A and B are shown apart, each in its own frame.
Chain A
Amino acid sequence: MAVASPQCVFRARGLTKVYTLGEVQVHALRGIDLELYAGELVVLLGPSGSGKSTLLNILGGLDTPSGGEVYYLERNLSAADEDELTRFRRDHVGFVFQFYNLIPSLTARENVAAVTEIARAPMQPEQALRLVGLGERLDHFPAQLSGGEQQRVAIARAIAKNPAVLLCDEPTGALDSHTGVIVLEALEKVNRELGTLTVLITHNAGIAAMADRVIRLSDGRIVDQQRNADKCAARELSW
């Protein structure tokens, strides 16, 4: 590899995950080898049940693999205990989920503050919300926001602590095309301006056009990887 190549943030080798449900064993991941680099915007594609969420959860320290190894920089996540994983998530990872998962009893600002209060070098909650275009809705409760707005609060919450990686599991899954684009624009902006490694799961092949790299999963294996020569802006997407 060339000297100028960017820093490798995640490195996975032979990653497997087996869920045991009584008698039945479900092989969610069947040996994943993968590198993710700083500043990249990666899209994970694949049919339902192919193991996308499982992989993302393991990268984010929400779950541990059954076999294989996964490194975050120098840190071996596959050997980490619950406490180390918590610290890892607290310091380095931001999550965005399909169903926003905001705390309904807290306002937009407070939802973000819940995370910045325990982070090491966070930005102001207001700043994060402005970044996603919600500077005017600081004191609204989730129930008073539309789905797209809620998802942008979730993004603000994820980026407010200046994480090294942003992991998004179908962030536009519950949104219409127009609103989805607004949310993707917010992600794109964060990726570009803050240089955050962003991994984005989607069912929607159209979204893949905005990625630096597209990874396809099927039945727990990586079946295809493509680098986008000319990626297009989120604004130009539609589905």
Chain B
Amino acid sequence: MRALNRKLWRDLWLMRGQVLAIAAVIAGGVATLVMSLSTYDSLVETRDRFYREYRFADVFTRLKRAPDSLGARLAQIPGVAHLETRVNAVVKLEVAGFYDPITGVLSSLPDSGEPLLNTLHLKRGQWPAPYSTDQVVASDTFADAHGLEPGDRIHAIVNGRRKALTLSGVALSPEYVYQIAPGAMFPDFKRYGVLWMGRHALSIAYGMDGAFNSVTLTLAPGANAQGVIDRLDDLLAPYGGVGAYARRDQFSNRFLAEELKQLRTTATVFPAIFLGVAAFLLNVVVTRLIATQREQIAILKAFGYRPLAIGAHYLGLVLAVTLTGVAGGVALGAWFGHGLANVYMEFYRFPTLDYVLRIEVVAIALAVTVLAAVAGTLLAVGRAMRLAPAAGMRAETPVVYRATVLERLGLQGWFAQPSRMILRHIERRPVKSALTVLGIACAGGLMMVGNYQRGAIDFMVDVQFRQAAREDLKLAFIEPTAGRALFELAQLPGVRHVEGYRDVAANLRFGHRHYRAALYGIEPEGVLHRSLDRALKPVRLPEAGVVLTDHLADNILGVKPGDRLTVELLEGERRVLQVPVAGVTRQFLGVSAYLRRDALNALLREGDVVSGAYLAHERADAPALYARLHERPRVLGMVAHASAIASFYDTLGEFVLFFNMVATLLAATIAFGVVYNSARIALSERGRELASLRVLGFTRGEIAYILLGELGLLTLLAIPLGFLIGTGLCGILVIVFESDLYRLPLVLEPSNYALAAGVVVVSALVSGALIWRRLGRLDLIAVLKTRE
């Protein structure tokens, strides 16, 4: 078979342009597959190791206050392996030279030794000295954002008293892989920090001496998590427990799980498109190759080569192209994977991210690709195997052309001869032309998928912060407070408007479905915090009943306006009430239930009480206002929207940039692969015809028009189809990625469409230019001398 192998390599070399173009498309598919799967593996591996080695708890709960003695009883609950009680305090932090409000969480550590559960990974420095009164370990995101190092000093306002703290170390915690302030929409590493300090010192400062307000535990193997949670809730109810939840519902872990789900989706949707296109290209190219080599196949058979040998020969060619693509794709995918993993490390903090590229992932990529390639070419190869040697020796009968639909409609007068040739050629091969259009359209669609997130996020931010939550500052009081506190806030410098809110944790039940959400009592006439209807118009809250986030109503609870919801309040007397659903509100971030504040006050059997306030203020007065609020002991958390959004976009920028780069590269590869291959095949099929025209006196421009005009037309047809495919794909992704944490709206901006069309057009132009060069080298004599 040596001579035949040599033929294979020479054929490949002759077709190197096409081979590379197809291999690049395959590489694109393999790269996305390898990138997503390897990053997925790496993140799962890293997460699991972090959780295991740092003893991440299985069940979490918080409560108002319980005596230390209760801890021993909790540990007796059947199914509990290890249980640890803690003191957690939400505080205000001060970092020298930074004037925005910072919310902090101070979490207790045992006074000596490491915690039993959720222990820390020290990046720098050390644990606080035993029984130290002022040493803390800071989360690395916060420390890095402010450039804090062990030995540096910051201040915390704990229970209204300013306390100096010294950093002993900087650490990561499995509990805070994804860090976001309670009530905030985005991570903001400068304005939210987690600190850990000795239990004794924290209890004294926070007034929790001899008590705890947080419990975490791990389950014994085989234990029933729900049973343990129920028992825990029963025991903690008298102490203001707000309901325990499993690791699955732990905030940081949930965010991570959602991200991993998205990676898995990426690992299927994108490679499927690429490999589909690659299979189509291979089919077209191999079919053409076999057609041009009919006589060679016939002669090989005449001399006694068996059909299997012929089939193996062409499959070998397909596999050579495929393997080139897979090799390139694995390398590219590993490179992308590294990049993506590093981008993830910005959001998700792990001690180290060990990038793993499992051999199984490569095997999957190889298997899937070979399958697609072989499936795409089996028909053509089979035809080569079946070709009767005597038939192969005769020239193929001239293809039958017909007058096109346009001509049959009597419109031929509108088209010159070359244009008619274009139309006839397209019409003669409707399936192939349609697939070419589809292939190019996929490139455009892919480009849109790579870019839609930016527009969606812009839209989401606009709706959330300029239409729904329009306050400049949201603040929380240390505990529910009389409504007149709002008047004092209104007197502060620069404050233009104040609206109070009351929020309470609640379990919402409907039938067998339930969900734990915050119940927000807001001002019905509010101008700062409003509820939007499905058309995003502000609506007035009704007198009675709750308004639910659309996702909560439609997808989680399955309720409609008019249904009666069971609301179990998790605070105060823990009343259980029947409340009608009055309406549904559109919201992209989080899920909540809204009602009028006075209605919530009534449900809680309290007077005019607020949990916090929304403020609008003059921008110029911000520093003075922040300073005054900072001094007020009852004011606890503060979230300034503008700065939170800005910092979010900073981090997001890198993410979006990375995806844009990858998507552009991949979409361009597909568009180029399809257009270039179609053009090369058209050239091979019609080289004779075009050369004859040249001999008859047509110019290079005129024959280029005949050849490239067809592709230009197909490309133009592909662009709107690409818009459709892109919109559809984005729509699917939006639905697949929906979660109660956030829902991306499907918002496609003119720039999305323009970019998609742009990449397609540029790729088409580049292939056109390459073909133009070839047309210049068209050998008129050779073409006419030989028999086709």
A interface, CB within 8 angstroms of B: 57, 60, 62-63, 82-83, 86-87, 89-91, 93-95, 97, 99, 101, 103-106, 110-111, 113-115, 117-119, 157, 161
Contact = CB atoms under 8 A, between A and B. Distances in A.
Interface stretch (B67-75, B278-286, B296-304, B672-680): B296-304
A114 B4 contact: yes
A154 to B, nearest CB: 9
B409 interface: no
A56 to B, nearest CB: 9
15 contacts: A63-B388, A89-B301, A90-B305, A93-B302, A101-B298, A103-B300, A105-B14, A106-B7, A110-B7, A113-B2, A113-B3, A114-B3, A114-B7, A114-B303, A117-B1
B124 interface: no
A106 B302 contact: no
A70 to B, nearest CB: 14
Closest 10 pairs (CB-CB, A-B): A90-B304, A105-B10, A114-B3, A62-B390, A63-B390, A101-B299, A113-B3, A89-B304, A57-B390, A62-B389
Contacts of B713: none
A90 B295 CA distance: 17
Given A101-B296, A105-B14, A86 B2 contact: no
Interface in B1-34: 1-4, 6-7, 10-11, 14
A95 B299 contact: yes
A179 B741 CA distance: 84
Given A99-B787, A103-B296, A113-B3, A86 B301 contact: yes
Interface residues of B, number: 26
A118 B305 contact: yes
Interface in B282-321: 295-296, 298-307
Contacts of B305: 86, 90, 118
A89 B4 CA distance: 18
Contacts of A161: 303
Nearest to A106: B7
Contact of A86 (B295, B298, B306, B787): B306
A238 to B, nearest CB: 24
B7 A60 contact: no
Interface of B: 1-4, 6-7, 10-11, 14, 295-296, 298-307, 388-390, 393, 787
Contacts of B296: 101, 103-104
Nearest to B4: A114
Given A62-B389, A97-B393, A99-B295, A105 B7 contact: yes
Nearest to A87: B304
Contacts of B299: 95, 97, 101, 103
Contacts of A57: 390
A89 B11 contact: no
Contact of B11 (A86, A90, A105): A105
B3 A106 contact: yes
B290 to A, nearest CB: 14
Contacts of A111: 3
B296 to A, nearest CB: 5
Nearest to A157: B303
B787 A62 contact: no
A82 B302 CA distance: 12
A110 B6 contact: yes
A179 B782 CA distance: 20
A82 B310 CA distance: 14
Contacts of B14: 105
A21 B3 CA distance: 38
A103 B7 contact: yes
Give the residue among B1, B2, B3 with the most A Cβ atoms within 10 A: B3
Given A101-B393, A106-B10, A60 B302 contact: yes
A114 B388 CA distance: 19
Contact of A106 (B6, B303, B306, B389): B6
Nearest to A161: B303
Contacts of B304: 86-87, 89-91, 93, 115, 118-119
A135 B389 CA distance: 29
Given A63-B390, A161-B303, 5 more contacts: A57-B390, A106-B6, A110-B3, A114-B3, A119-B304
B3 A89 contact: no
Contacts of A117: 1-4
Nearest to A154: B299
B785 to A, nearest CB: 9
A126 B787 CA distance: 28
A123 to B, nearest CB: 15
